[in-house]
Amino acid sequence: MTDRIPWDQYFMSQSMLLAMRSTCTRLSVGATIVREKRVISGGYNGSVSGDVHCSEHGCYLIDGHCARTVHAEMNALLQCAKFGVKTEGADIYITHFPCLQCTKTIIQSGIRKIFFLKNYHNHSYALKLLEQANIKVEQVAVPEDLFQNIGDYYKADLTSDIRDS
């Protein structure tokens, strides 16, 4: 029998995979929204639908920020809005601690807990707002070899003979 990864690592791994879809050249971020151990939405940072991608045309910087990019958290929350999925009481798993704007949007959306993998400009005002809103924040550790273990799992599975079952 194999060991199962904890739920937090499972959902954070999904955010890590989503980050691999990012078209941002500055930072790849993924976000997964979960309610009652079910994924209800996911997003990654990239251009608005129909616009060119930073990975192909470069960043469109205004005041040091890329104006072209929609953040992963926003994309995940907007998917919920677009398809009528309630976010009240859900959790969000993000590869990087949210920026101030995303923090405010997360608070307004009714998310109850933020799980993050990496620190990223943790703004003191964002931390204050999260505390005032009583939103729990937890850093999740994902083993560096997790995706290697997935590869090993499939290699073992592919080499076993179906008649051995």
The answer to whether residue 161 is domain-embedded is: no
66 marked as part of a ligand binding site: no
User: Within a domain: residue 165?
Assistant: no
- Of 36, 56, 73, 144, which residue is the catalytic one? 73
pLDDT at residue 158, as a whole number = 54
Task: Confirm whether pTM is higher than 0.75.
Answer: yes
pLDDT at 143: 87
Which position has the token pair 């470069």? 58
Show the domain range for 44. Answer: 5-156
Indicate the DSSP class of residue 4: P
For residue 143, the domain's CATH number is 3.40.140.10
Q: Is residue 54 in some structural domain?
A: yes
Structural domain contains residue 43: yes
pLDDT at 1: 42
Residue 130 within a domain: yes
pLDDT (0 to 100) of residue 97: 96
Has 138 been annotated as catalytic?
A: no
Q: Whole-angstrom Cα distance, residue 105 to residue 45? A: 15
102 annotated ligand binder: yes
Number of domains in the chain: 1
Render each residue's pLDDT in the chain as its tens digit; 165 residues.
467 899 999 999 999 999 999 888 788 899 999 999 999 999 999 877 887 677 787 776 678 776 778 899 999 999 999 999 999 999 999 999 999 999 999 999 999 999 999 998 778 999 999 999 999 999 999 988 877 766 665 565 555 555 444
**Per the domain annotation, does 163 fall within a domain?**
no
Predicted local confidence at residue 80, as pLDDT = 98
Q: Is residue 131 part of a domain?
A: yes
Residue 48 lies in a domain: yes
Predicted local distance difference test score (pLDDT) of residue 106:
98
Whether 99 has a binding-site annotation, put simply, is: yes
